[in-house]
Amino acid sequence: MRRALKSLAVFSLRQTLRYRRLRHLGRWLNVAANGDGLGDDWNSNGERMVFENIISSAAHGAILEVGAHDGSHTVAMIEAMRRARSCVHTIHSFEPSAANAARWIDTTANAGADDCVVLNRAACSDSSGEAILRCRAGGGRNGFHETYAGPEGDSTETVRTTTLDEYARAAGLSELLLLKIDTEGHDLQVLRGALELLQSKQIQYVQFEYNSAWIASRHFLKDAFDLLLPRGYFIGKIHKTFIERFIEWDYRLEWFEQTNFVAWIEHIDPLFPIEVTRGYLDHKSSSE
């Protein structure tokens, strides 16, 4: 009976809206239902909520920011740390683009934040060496993959790459509060370059971005689940006001819509609200 009613409803919608309008409606409903497509606004996409709860936990350790862009997120984190009188004092930022690095320097200096940040003119990856960075006009979507490389206004830049494992050893970093990654589809390579840190649980929280750029890098969200879960991390999607923790990966998560995920060591008790999804289509969630 339920299947028949569902088929009737779909048929009626197709007759009323026609194919293309129905597709747009279905896409919008899917985005809304999944809590995706929240954009890059730090104040409204859940990132600020997550960060402020992390630094309010009185935890210690430096922050690694991979993909610092123009420094606006760097300054937002520093301002949040100052408001919370956080015990965390140092952010190690990575930005390979020359233009973005110059913007980052100006942004942090104008905010009076240049005394507690370290800028590394390098990209983080799964190996050290050199790579070709595709630079998009405006600098907001630079990356190693083809997704954002359009026919006009783009250039390339040869940049240095390093791994976080190598960097942490050289910098003497043994306790890391947060690894924040925003690298336009290169996020998994960054994680693979931090396997030693993750295996030894020296990183307490990991935040990474998931979007259509993962297609160009030939990676799936499943790869992140397979990397983090066996190493003793929980993983969840960042919503505006809570984290949806998934017990396991589900193929229906793979639709490459813009969103952010956060992972944390199992024995940590985060301050941000958590709802647990045990099965992707379960009607009920449990709160931790």
DSSP 109-159: HHTT-TTSEEEE-SEE-SS-EEEEEEEPTTSTT-BSSGGG--SSS-EEEEE
Whether pLDDT at 41 is above 50: yes
Mean pLDDT of the 145-153 span: 53
Whose structure tokens read 């990966």? 249
Query: Is residue 259 a contact partner of residue 38, using CB atoms and an 8 Å limit?
Result: yes
b/e for 238-249, b at 16 or more Cβ within 10 A?
A: bbeebbbbbeeb
The C-alpha atoms of residue 285 and residue 269 are separated, in whole angstroms, by 18
pLDDT value at position 140?
66
The C-alpha atoms of residue 7 and residue 92 are separated, in whole angstroms, by 54
Phi-psi region of 44 (alpha: psi -120 to 50; beta: other; left: phi over 0): alpha
Report residue 151's pLDDT band, with 50, 70 and 90 as the boundaries: very low
pLDDT value at position 84?
87
Whose structure tokens read 């299947």? 3
Report residue 118's pLDDT band, with 50, 70 and 90 as the boundaries: very high
Whether pLDDT at 259 is above 50: yes
The C-alpha atoms of residue 27 and residue 7 are separated, in whole angstroms, by 18
Amino acid 58 reads A
The C-alpha atoms of residue 181 and residue 191 are separated, in whole angstroms, by 9
pLDDT value at position 148?
46
Percent of the chain scored above 90 by pLDDT? 61
Give this prediction's pTM.
0.89
Mean pLDDT of the 82-105 span: 90
pLDDT value at position 72?
92
16-20, 40-44, 169-173: lowest mean pLDDT where? 16-20
List 52's β-bridge partners, or say none.
Answer: none
20-29, 52-61, 259-268: lowest mean pLDDT where? 20-29
pLDDT value at position 3?
64
pLDDT value at position 264?
98
- In the chain, the largest separation of any two C-alpha atoms, in whole Å, equals 66
Look up residue 119 and give its two tokens.
Answer: 């800028």
